[in-house]
Structure 1
């Protein structure tokens, strides 16, 4: 059924039929989002802000707002994509070399994957790692 509704999502590394169906079902009409960042925010993969007066905390955890299902599906896809896509693997390794933990680095890949999902669904073009 996913092949009839949104088949190009399956061109993204790490997204299987099951995860793709869950992501497409949770996102719905891509036209309701302005950008990939808004998809990441909807999935709760954006960083939280913790500040008071002149103090601003660094390294705030993700907000986890919105439904947990798209966040889980994109995170699982990112866990797989970081192994198979050369660009996402390089991004993951860069985050690890910066001293980030595994889960933090995979979450960063998941945010990047939200941008990819948005672009593929918006443009109706298959995934191209060179873009």
Structure 2
């Protein structure tokens, strides 16, 4: 069995069907994949992404680094706010998409498929 999510016991209590993915034991669905797909399209869904990596960016030039390496002006993202963005190569082509969160004194970068 893989690594369990911090939310594993809650998922289990709610009747989740589990699968192993990249060394993690995680919920796949509760009722059926189709019914959950439709529920998310019609209303809202919550996804446990605790298996994804986190990269911490901190220091006096953290904001500058994010602005230089993504398509976002990090200075416009308020504290405790997040932004979906793309990471760029030096020539401006896209390496990958990502999400970053502005936390006090640092940023948390959540790589795609991390």
For the aligned pair, the TM-score class normalised by the smaller chain equals: under 0.3
Which one has more relative contact order, counting CA pairs under 8 Å at least 6 apart? Answer: 1
TM-score computed with the length of structure 2 as normaliser? 0.27
TM-score, scaled to structure 1? 0.24
Q: Higher strand proportion, which one?
A: 2
